[in-house]
A and B are shown apart, each in its own frame.
Chain A
């Protein structure tokens, strides 16, 4: 389910880089602007996350989404830094603010898919994001 790299061509100038960036952004946003908008799920898989079971959560989510016929993108990222609540995952529903869930195991992941991914219903275990970022 991880995003495949489509464009493998060499960047020959700064203009190339900017063009590529726009293409990638267009690809990402293009998905979001079509009628079939996708949910994005990030599984934080740094050393802390993996040590607490992020790998099995990632596998579970990937297979279950397919089984339950839910069209979503699953990404593997580094850790968010919330080591006290690992594994953590972030779910972004189209057009909504991302929501981070902590202490996710298969049971929790199941609940997140059924209640939040499908219906946007918030469930216990949300981690409020208490930081600002420069992006």
Chain B
């Protein structure tokens, strides 16, 4: 079959197809057949366009015209007007929400292509195990420029002017960090790449290392030149075997090509990189704990100061940056600080990679300019909430962050706005929750994680978090009181104020933020002993509506603990004393007679 002249791309993403299913492509095909066009024009179902709030979407190729809010009834008009008469269907064109001008070409649409890929520029594009592909895509060009025409001060100035802030969570200005490390004189210094990605649901660093390892190696060498270090170390968790393998290949190839090692590109600059493995402890993402772990000591944090920039690995000045921070670097050198500073908000420049997870349709990695709103991320790029449920909250910053709720949907996401909203940027995990999620359980889940990951060095974190977790456990079991809510808050604040490192200082954040945003849900748990989301098993009761029950005995037969009694053809009863709330009866009942209350 020959290539057809035109294509109608119909969005088959969950958001769009939930509205009209397959009716739109079917109707379009019928209309094409009615006009004997089916041999020239093809209807293709695609994945999500990332325009869910304007859906369903139909795109006409090669005209590059996008129609929005298309209904099955519009098929005839699209075929007859656009395809036969060659006139655009004005009423279905996209209207810019700001200027309310109608736009037709997808390239003009501001809502389209909200993502901008700087960090992920080569991910999925180049073969990460072939250095020549990376070189063809501009790898090591920034290093070449730095080594041949720039002083360390000039490079640091560019990084400072670009406004780049640490992507690992803290948001410390990268240029300033380098300057401090440069000022501390020593015979030996170290550049460390923190690839100890530990937030539940986050995998952006892994993807960068797997997709574009040379971006990180090059940036580390540039950093080495600036702070006068000749050794680089990548601290990566051993649970990332593929990333480790690709890094090793990349390092070996870079050495072979003279881009790492002695006398790089004949400039007299020496820099080499080694890999250090972590055993997957969350606390080792904290830079002092990370350094101790690399030294072969226990992965426990120590008091700052001294900061690693003064006394880090083996007591030498050490500069630690995150994978994503390093990956931003070479574009900054090549395109200039003004370019980078033009992207983002006043105090947060550039882009941020987020790992979308949870109850969202388009799970995956996205990269958006700082200042993009949560609504754009969740409902446009993310394709909205699964099964058309209601958005409840999004957790950013993992176990150290907090939740953003409906009222934050239009807040531009950047370092400072997230902190103001009681959360934090963290490394970029974004877990979306819907109406079925119980916020007390969510807080408990993250606390469980911190209790597990606390290194145990300081007592506020070791004991405090354990007690916090117990209180939450109490509440979800229906044994809590109103006074417990105040206790939660007080204890959280004490842990925050007195813990030694970032892990403990931020671990109560999920509790505080859910308590702030969803206090009524906590109150329902302690006063009415009810879980509004229906998640807490101990607060649920399975109940048979006698009017609906026909006495088929199916539920009594499936019940694993024989909690259901009743005569055949008579309404049955569940004995709450025996019931273990497994839900098997509810699933089995064909008459909707069993409810949870």
Interface flags for A91-114 (1: CB within 8 Å of B; 0: not) read 000000000001000000000000
Q: Which of B115, B137, B141, B364 has the most CB of A within 10 A?
A: B364
CB distance from B489 to the nearest CB of A (A): 37
Interface flags for A74-88 (1: CB within 8 Å of B; 0: not) read 011111111111001
Interface flags for B1-44 (1: CB within 8 Å of A; 0: not) read 11110010101100000000000000000000000000000101
Asked if B206 CB lies within 8 Å of chain A CBs, one says yes
Residues of A41-97 at the interface with B, using a CB-CB cut-off of 8 Å, are: 42, 44, 46-48, 50, 75-85, 88, 90
Q: Is B365 in contact with A83, judged by CB distance below 8 angstroms?
A: yes
Whether A8 touches B256, Cβ cut-off 8 Å, given contacts A28-B136, A122-B42, is yes
Q: Which of A18, A115, A127, A130 has the most CB of B within 10 A?
A: A130
Interface flags for A1-31 (1: CB within 8 Å of B; 0: not) read 0110101101111101110110011001000
Whether A82 touches B362, Cβ cut-off 8 Å, given contacts A11-B258, A76-B127, A131-B113, is yes
Residues of B38-66 at the interface with A, using a CB-CB cut-off of 8 Å, are: 42, 44-51, 59, 61
Stretch in B117-125, B496-504, B585-593 touching the partner: B117-125
Q: In the complex the two chains form, what is the Cα distance from A44 to B118 in whole Å?
A: 18
CB distance from B242 to the nearest CB of A (A): 5
Q: Is A42 in contact with B49, judged by CB distance below 8 angstroms?
A: no
A36 surroundings in chain B (CB, below 8 A): none
Sort chain A's interface into a size bin. 35 or more
Partner of A125, one of B7, B45, B140, B212: B45
B135 surroundings in chain A (CB, below 8 A): 17, 20-21, 24
CB distance from B459 to the nearest CB of A (A): 37
Q: Is B124 in contact with A47, judged by CB distance below 8 angstroms?
A: no
Q: Is A121 in contact with B206, judged by CB distance below 8 angstroms?
A: no
Q: Is A75 in contact with B127, judged by CB distance below 8 angstroms?
A: yes
Partner of A124, one of B45, B59, B118, B144: B45
Q: In the complex the two chains form, what is the Cα distance from A48 to B1 in whole Å?
A: 34
Q: In the complex the two chains form, what is the Cα distance from A128 to B44 in whole Å?
A: 12
Q: Is A78 in contact with B210, judged by CB distance below 8 angstroms?
A: yes
Asked if B523 CB lies within 8 Å of chain A CBs, one says no
Partner of B47, one of A7, A83, A120, A127: A127
Q: Is B265 in contact with A11, judged by CB distance below 8 angstroms?
A: yes
Q: Is B123 in contact with A84, judged by CB distance below 8 angstroms?
A: no
Whether A77 touches B148, Cβ cut-off 8 Å, given contacts A128-B47, A131-B113, is no
Asked if B484 CB lies within 8 Å of chain A CBs, one says no
Q: In the complex the two chains form, what is the Cα distance from A97 to B138 in whole Å?
A: 21
Q: In the complex the two chains form, what is the Cα distance from A20 to B136 in whole Å?
A: 8
Q: In the complex the two chains form, what is the Cα distance from A134 to B257 in whole Å?
A: 26
CB distance from A100 to the nearest CB of B (A): 8
Q: In the complex the two chains form, what is the Cα distance from A49 to B3 in whole Å?
A: 30
Q: Is B129 in contact with A76, judged by CB distance below 8 angstroms?
A: yes
Residues of B463-496 at the interface with A, using a CB-CB cut-off of 8 Å, are: none
CB distance from A2 to the nearest CB of B (A): 7
Asked if A35 CB lies within 8 Å of chain B CBs, one says no
B9 surroundings in chain A (CB, below 8 A): 122, 126, 128
Q: Is A12 in contact with B128, judged by CB distance below 8 angstroms?
A: no
Whether A24 touches B136, Cβ cut-off 8 Å, given contacts A11-B257, A13-B265, A130-B50, is yes
CB distance from B461 to the nearest CB of A (A): 31
Whether A84 touches B113, Cβ cut-off 8 Å, given contacts A21-B136, A102-B47, is no
Partner of B361, one of A2, A14, A84, A131: A84
Asked if A34 CB lies within 8 Å of chain B CBs, one says no
A83 surroundings in chain B (CB, below 8 A): 363-365
A50 surroundings in chain B (CB, below 8 A): 242
Q: Is B4 in contact with A5, judged by CB distance below 8 angstroms?
A: no
B3 surroundings in chain A (CB, below 8 A): 119-121
Q: Is A2 in contact with B47, judged by CB distance below 8 angstroms?
A: no
CB distance from B441 to the nearest CB of A (A): 25
Asked if B335 CB lies within 8 Å of chain A CBs, one says yes
A84 surroundings in chain B (CB, below 8 A): 361-364, 383
A131 surroundings in chain B (CB, below 8 A): 113-117, 366-367
Interface flags for B292-306 (1: CB within 8 Å of A; 0: not) read 000000000000000
CB distance from A60 to the nearest CB of B (A): 19
Q: In the complex the two chains form, what is the Cα distance from A50 to B210 in whole Å?
A: 12
Asked if B130 CB lies within 8 Å of chain A CBs, one says yes
Q: Is A81 in contact with B381, judged by CB distance below 8 angstroms?
A: no
Q: Is B121 in contact with A134, judged by CB distance below 8 angstroms?
A: yes
Q: In the complex the two chains form, what is the Cα distance from A14 to B361 in whole Å?
A: 46
Asked if B147 CB lies within 8 Å of chain A CBs, one says yes
Q: Is B266 in contact with A13, judged by CB distance below 8 angstroms?
A: yes
Partner of A46, one of B44, B117, B118, B206: B206
Q: Is B207 in contact with A17, judged by CB distance below 8 angstroms?
A: no
Asked if B451 CB lies within 8 Å of chain A CBs, one says no
Partner of B49, one of A24, A28, A128: A128
Q: Is B123 in contact with A7, judged by CB distance below 8 angstroms?
A: no
Q: In the complex the two chains form, what is the Cα distance from A99 to B364 in whole Å?
A: 19
Q: Is B48 in contact with A77, judged by CB distance below 8 angstroms?
A: no
23 contacts between A and B (CB under 8 A): A12-B266, A14-B144, A46-B206, A47-B203, A47-B210, A48-B207, A50-B242, A77-B125, A78-B207, A78-B246, A79-B211, A81-B124, A84-B361, A84-B383, A102-B47, A120-B3, A122-B9, A122-B42, A125-B46, A126-B47, A130-B113, A130-B381, A131-B114
Interface, chain A (partner B; CB < 8 A): 2-3, 5, 7-8, 10-14, 16-18, 20-21, 24-25, 28, 42, 44, 46-48, 50, 75-85, 88, 90, 102, 115, 119-128, 130-135
List 6 A-B pairs, minimum CB-CB distance, nearest first. A78-B211, A81-B365, A80-B124, A131-B115, A130-B50, A83-B364
19 further A-B contacts with Cβ under 8 Å, apart from A20-B135, A44-B124, A79-B211, are A11-B265, A18-B141, A24-B133, A46-B207, A47-B243, A76-B127, A79-B123, A79-B124, A81-B364, A82-B47, A84-B362, A120-B3, A125-B47, A126-B46, A128-B11, A130-B381, A131-B117, A132-B115, A135-B137
